[in-house]
Amino acid sequence: MPDVMFDRIALIGIGLIGSSIARDIKALGLARQVVISSRSADTLKRAEELALGTSYVTAAAEAVRDADLVIVSVPVGASEAVAREIAEHLKPGVIVTDVGSTKASVIAQMAPHMPDYVHFIPGHPLAGTEKSGPDAGFPGLFKGRWCIFTPLENTDPAALSKLKAFWEALGSRVDEMDPVHHDKVLAIVSHLPHIIAYNIVGTADDLETVTESEVIKYSASGFRDFTRLAASDPTMWRDVCLHNKDAILEMLARFSEDLAYLQRAIRWGEGDKLFELFSRTRDVRRSIIQAGQDVDAPDFGRHVLDK
């Protein structure tokens, strides 16, 4: 088990991501003190009931006092307000990081507020589920998943390795990337899939020729897969769409262009074109399983759980 890595960690935001981090810190003994902050009394109370930290305060400004590591885990659209609130209460030498799903926007929102005696290192753990809130978190969420840092120029190497060691203690593998490239990568591997899932579930919900109850009854033939992503937190995803607009619009344009090609192949009965696409996509799944990024069981192993 890793030793204590930080004397005092402040967690700003204690939903799915924040509370999973809290559970790992506790289980692994990575900090002496863990101060938890959430803007609502309800969430904060729940965090305390779950014993996720060592103290609980509503004000983020108060939570960060004397902290050696501050992790901001709130919807990306709230990043600037949080940065503004905590800025002057940060102690010199503190590492401030975040977990937001978009990076260029978070940097634009937070960096200008960070005093120069603070190590601000933007981060994004690529792990999660469709659930939210402090009850949704669990220990081990980040195990085997990637965590991407998008460090600013002149980032202190010692602070960077310390944060890296922290995420590795949680079981993550760490990568570094330029924030604009991060946002493009995430647009295709995460944002577009969620948007498409929301869209198809919306389309199905609005049909007149097929009823909603039919959609639900017969959903096991494929549709249900999309409803998982489309059950994700609306605030989080609204913010992602608003804060990674350019990359998302670029990927949407590519997707629509390809879909038009596919639609045309269906209209004109071009079986060869369909077969060609449907064959090469198989390999992508095979590679993902080989890379340890998905379970190998058919149907995501649902039949195992069904028993």
Ligand X SMILES: NC(=O)c1ccc[n+]([C@@H]2O[C@H](COP(=O)([O-])OP(=O)(O)OC[C@H]3O[C@@H](n4cnc5c(N)ncnc54)[C@H](OP(=O)(O)O)[C@@H]3O)[C@@H](O)[C@H]2O)c1
274 binding a second copy? (CB under 8 A): yes
Nearest-angstrom CA–CA distance, 187 and 238: 14
Neighbours of 107 (CB within 10 A): 21
- Applying CB under 8 A, the site for a second copy has a residue count of 114
CB of 143 to a second copy, least distance (A): 8
Nearest-angstrom CA–CA distance, 222 and 213: 16
What are the structure tokens assigned to 206, written together? 């609005």
92 binding a second copy? (CB under 8 A): no
Q: Which one of the spans 32-40, 177-185, 211-219, 246-254 is the region binding ligand X (CB under 6 A)?
A: 32-40
14 binding ligand X? (CB under 6 A): yes
Strands 123-125, 146-149: pairing is antiparallel
47-76 residues near ligand X, rule: CB under 6 A: 73-76
* Phi, psi (deg, nearest 5) at residue 146: -85, 145
Paired residues of 121 in beta bridges? 97
Q: Which one of the spans 35-43, 51-59, 84-92, 139-147 is the region binding a second copy (CB under 8 A)?
A: 139-147
Tokens 């967690």: give the residue: 11
Nearest CB to a second copy, comparing residues 45 and 286: 286
Nearest CB to ligand X, comparing residues 68 and 98: 98
Site string for ligand X, 204-233 (x = CB under 6 A): -----------------------------x
* Phi, psi (deg, nearest 5) at residue 71: -115, 115
Tokens 């946002």: give the residue: 183
**In a 3-state reduction of DSSP, which class is residue 123?**
strand
Tokens 């192949």: give the residue: 265
DSSP 8-state symbol, 189: I
280 binding a second copy? (CB under 8 A): yes
171 binding a second copy? (CB under 8 A): no
Nearest-angstrom CA–CA distance, 285 and 296: 10
Among 236, 247, 248, 251, binds ligand X (CB under 6 A): 236
Nearest CB to a second copy, comparing residues 19 and 101: 101
40 binding ligand X? (CB under 6 A): yes
Residues at the interface with ligand X (CB under 6 A)? 13-18, 38-40, 43, 73-76, 78, 81-82, 99-101, 125, 128, 132-133, 233, 236
